[in-house]
Amino acid sequence: MISQDPQKINEFLQRGVESILPSREFTEKKLLSGEVLTVYLGIDPTGPSLHIGHAIALKKLAQLQNLGHNIILLMGDFTARIGDPTDKLATRKTLTSDQIAENLKNYKSQAAKIISFEGENPVEIKFNNDWLGKMNFADVLELCSQATIQQLLERDMFQKRIAEEKPVYVHEALYPLMQGYDSVAMMVDGEIGGNDQLFNMLMGRDLLKNHGKDKFVMTVKLLTDASGTKMGKSEGNMVTLDDSADIMFGKIMSWTDGMIVGGFELCTDISRDEVLQIEIAMQNGENPMQYKKRLAREIITTYHNEPEAIAAQDNWEKTFSDGGIPTDVPEITTTVGTMLIDVVTTEKIVESKSEFRRLIDEGAIKVMTETGEEKITDVKYSIQHSIILKIGKKKFIKISL
């Protein structure tokens, strides 16, 4: 049964949405037509985890699923093999079917926190290798005849590379056609993806039109800070959906303040009104930290549960606000009289002895005591009894005998 609840439809069309093509009206009309729409999101099964960026798109799918539409999660197992042109010359290592199966299993359990693979209207999983892998050269030519070189090269990145005399490979240029063909193969009514997918998604729309059908294309916003810097460009603070509660809490706390509002809008179900209030409160000088903590809790509650979220916050506060020791500290064992420098380098806690010396110089290595902490200043410090070592402010290691 298709729901036409205007409020829900409005939420779908607005929240976290970057753009809708050909238009919002077109899409709204489709949603109000009473038809069951088929909408998909494509994911490259290249890594073991989904990250918070995927989650934003998945949330949109969830909204549609709740409205009663038919949702497909497409694994780009074929396209992943070819490699995405965005990673320059780097040829992606080919994935074995085992790896893909493994990744898929992980994705499914992670995505299940947001969309439902069970019940009356379960999300369907498809693989584009099922059709792309079966095409012969004649099929490829037929597909290629539907686009021009100019169209394919229109893409900014290619233009840039041509201008810089950098290579553009034929198979890279063909990528949009491959991905675009997915829409035809599944005869979808809509596609959701990141902004970086816009070009490919529009190619799918063109191809679909040749088959007498039109689809909408929705791009979702990326989580960025106020200056538009993308989150996770270094992967360092990119939350993956299978991160532990503690890790998630830490990563989210290291997001810049400018990401808080976007984080609430894109990653939680907190009402837009409330998000607006938070935004205003911070503009009025309220401490962003409390909101960031709240954001972290909300997100962790989605992917884990509330008690874990609260525990993660406790743990974090204990470690960083109160200078305490976190609950689970990795432990290594050694023998009496061993030099600390040796223990710590052979255990790969510190990269090299040079680095260890530097850390000593910087006063970054401390032993935790009942009363507080004590800096180690001697490079030749040797271990006489079990200690808890603190390196920098976030690394703790228990060394026992």
Residues near RNA, by CB under 7 A: 165-168, 233-234, 236, 246, 249-251, 253-257, 287-289, 292, 316, 319-321, 345, 351-355, 357-359, 362-364, 379, 391-395
CB-nearer residue toward RNA: 72 or 295: 295
CB-nearer residue toward RNA: 19 or 169: 169
Question: Minimal CA–CA distance to 334: which of 396, 390, 382?
Answer: 382
Q: Could you tell me if 238 and 232 are in contact, meaning their C-beta atoms sit under 8 angstroms apart?
A: yes
For the CB of residue 234, give the shortest distance to RNA in the complex, in Å.
4
For the CB of residue 274, give the shortest distance to RNA in the complex, in Å.
19
CB-nearer residue toward RNA: 60 or 366: 366
Bridge partners, 45 (sequence order): none
For the CB of residue 3, give the shortest distance to RNA in the complex, in Å.
39
Question: Minimal CA–CA distance to 22: which of 222, 191, 173?
Answer: 191
Residue 97 CA to residue 132 CA, distance in Å, equals 15
For the CB of residue 97, give the shortest distance to RNA in the complex, in Å.
28
DSSP 329-367: --EEE--TT-BHHHHHHHTTSSS-HHHHHHHHHTT-EEE
Q: Among positive and negative, which fits the CA dihedral 263, 267, 273, 274? A: negative
For the CB of residue 116, give the shortest distance to RNA in the complex, in Å.
32
DSSP secondary structure letter of residue 113:
T
Q: Could you tell me if 401 and 338 are in contact, meaning their C-beta atoms sit under 8 angstroms apart?
A: no
What's the number of CA atoms in the CB half-sphere (13 Å) around residue 217?
21
Phi and psi at 15, nearest 5°, equal -65, 125
For the CB of residue 25, give the shortest distance to RNA in the complex, in Å.
39
Q: Among positive and negative, which fits the CA dihedral 159, 160, 164, 169? A: negative
CB-nearer residue toward RNA: 68 or 258: 258
CB-nearer residue toward RNA: 121 or 256: 256
Single-letter amino acid, residue 210: N
Enter the tokens of residue 231: 């989150």
CB-nearer residue toward RNA: 10 or 352: 352
CB-nearer residue toward RNA: 18 or 355: 355
For the CB of residue 49, give the shortest distance to RNA in the complex, in Å.
18
